[in-house]
Structures are given as structure tokens and as C-alpha cells.
Structure 1
Amino acid sequence: MELLVFHTLVIAHIITGATGAIAFWVPVIGRKGGVNHRRWGKVFSIALLCTGSFALAMSLLSLYDPMGTHPQLVGRFDEVFIRGFFGHLMVCAATLTINLTWYGWMLVRNRSQQALNRTRAMYAWQWIVIATSLNCAFQGWMMGEKLLIGLAVVGLATGATNLWFLAKDRPTREDWLKEHVKALVGAGISVYTAFMAFGSVRIFPELALHPVMWAIPLTVGLTIIIWHRLAIERAARQRRRGEVAQAA
């Protein structure tokens, strides 16, 4: 029964993850703020929230019964590895994905209305990510797996920087735009990493922990984030120059 539930979650996870992975590129490449940007951004956000939720359920089942939920890996990996990789690491990745998606979506909806961002749920998700990241780091240290520690660093940085932004009383347009880009592109990185890393376990198990499988989505995502941050700063400078010219 557990295996049937797990496989159902896997199928749902793949469907919603693939939907999010495709929808991701429309707002990234297309004209910002337009109808398509908003429509596909919403599709992406809903798909990623579902994907993260399914991943969280899968990870909890993996923690409960690691060998029963991954019979194809019996004989290849031991229980400690499966529980660590598909349990603790995936819990961290799932909560990180949900947090980034929700945070990025709320910022673009609330814009500079910071009071609307400061909800109990928003703060709770930051501390949940920090807690699961600390656990992931501890498990990685116990297992001697640097990959778990690396993901934990990302989770801790995400929770801390999100809390730092929420502490701002009057964020500027550039502030929330940069956070919006950071969060939703970060969520996009997570879904592509899941496809390349977790997906490879089923086809090429020996590649699951290969640094390249994790580095490619991260490198592409960071490039997108930097590009858009620079574009936001250029637009802000042009707007300020226009305001100065009008005032003169």
C-alpha cells in the first residue's frame, strides 16, 4: 500500500514538476509585467507549490520506510543513504521549493505593501526552511555527504535573506522586484535540479551525487538572477534620470 501511494505521488510530482519547468521560461524570457508574464507566472507558481507538496509527502514516506518505497535501489544503496538522500535531503529541498515559490509569488502580489507580507505563515515558512536545513546539514555531517551540507547552506541563506527583507519597513520597487526574481528563479533551479539529480537515480544511480548534475541548474539559475538584477538596476537608474530631467 505504501509503495502504491509513493508511486502515485511520484507520478503527480513529475506531472506538476514538468508543467512548472515548462512554464518557468515564459516569464523569464518574455516581456516583464505583461499578460503572458502574469498568466504563466501563476501557472508556474501553482505547479511548483504542488510539486513541493508532493515531494514533501514522498520524503516523509521515505523517512518512514526507505527500503519499501525504493525497492529498485535495494542492493545498490543502504538504508542510511536512502533515508538521507530521499528523506532528509528531499525534506529540505521540498520545504525550500514551497517557501521560495510562495515568497516570490506573494512579493509580486503585495509589491511594496510590506504589511501584507508579514503574515504568520510567511514567517513560519522561513523558520521551517531554516530548521530543515539545519537537520539536512547535521545528517550530511553524520553521513559524510557534502551534498546535503551544500543544500543546507542554500536553505539557511534563503531563510536568513527572506527574513532580512521582511524586516524592511519601506522596501522600494527595486527591492521587492529583486527578491521576486531571486525567489521564483530559485524555485525554478530546484525543479530542474530535482529532474537531473533525483531523476537520474532511477536511470543512472551512479550519477545521482555527481556535482555536475547539481551544478548545471544552479549555474544557469544564478546567471538568470544576476542578469535580471542588473536589468532592474538599469531600469531604476533610467527612471531616476528621467525624474531628475522632469524636475529640472
Structure 2
Amino acid sequence: MHLFEALVVLHVIAGATGLIAFWVPIAARKGGQAHRRWGRIAVYAFIVAGLLAIAMALLSLFGTEQRLPMITDRVLFAGLFGWMMLYLGMLTIGFAGYGLLVVRHRGNRSALRGPLTQSLLGAVALSALWCGYFGLTIGQPLMAAVALVGLAAIATQQFYIWRRAVPPRGHVAEHFRALLGMGISAYTAFLSVGLIRLVPDHVFNPLIWAVPSIIGISLIIRFTIGARPARRPSQRAEA
């Protein structure tokens, strides 16, 4: 088995593990044993899958062998299976790492301003900018649209890190949004890169690209609204 094929097998195993484990902490009682155990499994599986995706993207871009020869447009191939896959791998790792760090440093946000977190978020931002730029240069604005998701996420994360004060238990919502973002990026990679290997004619079908974001953002909005503290009667009367 060649290196690239071995990476694909390992990527599928890690990705499938993460995609399955991802839903347990979503459904389980927050903070409970199942939530923590399966959350860690999902996070670490996605980090491994993201690293393998980056390795495959680099081999596709700079390796000596031609990948997926059925795609004759090699510029399009470089965009989708090269730079976008690299970006989605970075985005998955960024969301996963940030989701863990937010909980670890929930009582000390200044730790999130250090070189580890900032380098991680900076690498995601750079990969998003290049993915978006490359997509626009080859006439594929959907690559730019996917890149905007990452840039918007980085902006909100930096706002949380650098704002003067955060609400009590604000790290919980930030943790939840980060790990849902991790799921969005992983499912987007699966549907737009993995599944498309079987149906290359739909490589830029907007519906395929949009489904993970629609579901994930809906869950984020639902959680954010549900997590708002109830106002006391005196506050309602004043309003």
C-alpha cells in the first residue's frame, strides 16, 4: 500500500470515529461523564483526521503522482483536493484545539492570548485567506464562501479572548460553539471532498456544501438562546 492510500485509510477511520462520537456529547447531559468521555474521543479523532487531511492535501499539491485522474481540470483539483482540504483540516484542528483550551483556561482567559492559541488561530486564518483567494482566482466563489465561515469564527473567538469581561459561564457557550464548528468543518470535508470522490459531477453542488453549516448553525443558535439566563421578575417589570 502506497503512502497516500495508507493516509486515506487512516483518515477514514479517524474521521468516522469523530463523526459518530461527535453526537454523544451533543445529546448527553452537559458536563456529565458521557459528555466528557465521548467529547474527548471526538476531539482527538478529529484532530488526527485534520492532520491526515493536511498531509493528503500536501501530497496532492506537491507529490509526484497524479491523484484522482478522472478529474481532468487539475487547477480545480488543486483547489478542492489541495488548498481547500488543507484549509478544512486546519479549521477542524483549530476548532477542536480552541474548544479544549477554552474549558482548560475558563478561569484565566489571558492564557488564551499566549502564543499557542494565537498561533493556532493565526494558522487557520491564513489557510482560510489563501483558500478564499485561490477559489476566486479560479472562478469558484464557493471556496471563498467556505473560507468566510472560518474567518467569521476566528473573529468571534478573538472577541471572546480579548474582551474586557465575559458573562458567568461564558466559556460554556464558547466551548459548545467551537465544537459544533469542529463538526461543521468535518462534515463539510466529508460531504464536499470525501463523498464527492464517488460523484465528481457534483463537486461544487451548493446544497452539499450548505447542509452541514445549516444544521450546525441552527444548533448553535438554539443553544445560545436556550443558554441565556432567565430574567428575574424585577428585571421583567423594569423592561
Q: Name the SS for the 2:227 alignment partner.
A: helix
Query: How far off is 1:175 after superposition?
Result: 2.4
**Residue from 209, 212, 215 that aligns with 1:220:** 215
RMSD of Structure 2 on Structure 1 (CA)? 1.9
Gaps of 5+ in 1: none
Q: What is the alpha-carbon distance in structure 2 between the residues aligned to residue 190 and residue 165 of structure 1? A: 21
Q: What is the alpha-carbon distance in structure 1 between the residues aligned to residue 46 and residue 164 of structure 2? A: 29
Q: What is the alpha-carbon distance in structure 2 between the residues aligned to residue 24 and residue 173 of structure 1? A: 26
Q: What does the per-residue CA deviation read over 1:135-169, in whole Å, with 9 as the maximum and x for residues that have no partner?
A: 11110111000111111111211222221111024
Deviates more, 1:195-204 or 1:171-180: 171-180
2:230 corresponding residue in structure 1: 237
User: Does the 8 Å CA contact 1:185/1:221 hold for their aligned counterparts?
Assistant: yes
2:86 corresponding residue in structure 1: 91
Q: What is the alpha-carbon distance in structure 1 between the residues aligned to residue 7 and residue 50 of structure 2? A: 11
**Residue from 54, 58, 65 that aligns with 1:68:** 65
Q: Which amino acid aligns with 1:232?
A: A
1:13 corresponding residue in structure 2: 11
Q: What is the alpha-carbon distance in structure 2 between the residues aligned to residue 186 and residue 123 of structure 1? A: 18
Equivalence map 1:1-248=2 (5 Å) = 4-65=2-63, 68-70=65-67, 73-233=68-228, 236-237=229-230, 241=232
**After the TM superposition, which segments of 4 or more aligned residues of structure 1 sit over 6 Å from their partners?**
none
Count how many residue pairs are aligned between Structure 1 and Structure 2: 234
Give the TM-score normalised by the residue count of structure 2. Answer: 0.91
Q: What is the alpha-carbon distance in structure 2 between the residues aligned to residue 147 and residue 92 of structure 1? A: 13
Q: What is the alpha-carbon distance in structure 2 between the residues aligned to residue 77 and residue 169 of structure 1? A: 52
Q: Which amino acid aligns with 1:19?
A: T
Gaps of 5+ in 2: none
Deviates more, 1:173-182 or 1:130-139: 173-182
User: Does the 8 Å CA contact 1:6/1:69 hold for their aligned counterparts?
Assistant: no
Q: Name the SS for the 2:204 alignment partner.
A: coil
User: Does the 8 Å CA contact 2:135/2:142 hold for their aligned counterparts?
Assistant: yes
Q: What is the alpha-carbon distance in structure 1 between the residues aligned to residue 177 and residue 75 of structure 2? A: 33
Q: Which amino acid aligns with 1:17?
A: G
Q: Name the SS for the 1:27 alignment partner.
A: helix
Structure holding more helix per residue: 1
User: Does the 8 Å CA contact 2:88/2:186 hold for their aligned counterparts?
Assistant: no
Q: What is the alpha-carbon distance in structure 2 between the residues aligned to residue 201 and residue 35 of structure 1? A: 36
Identity of counterpart residues, as a percentage? 36
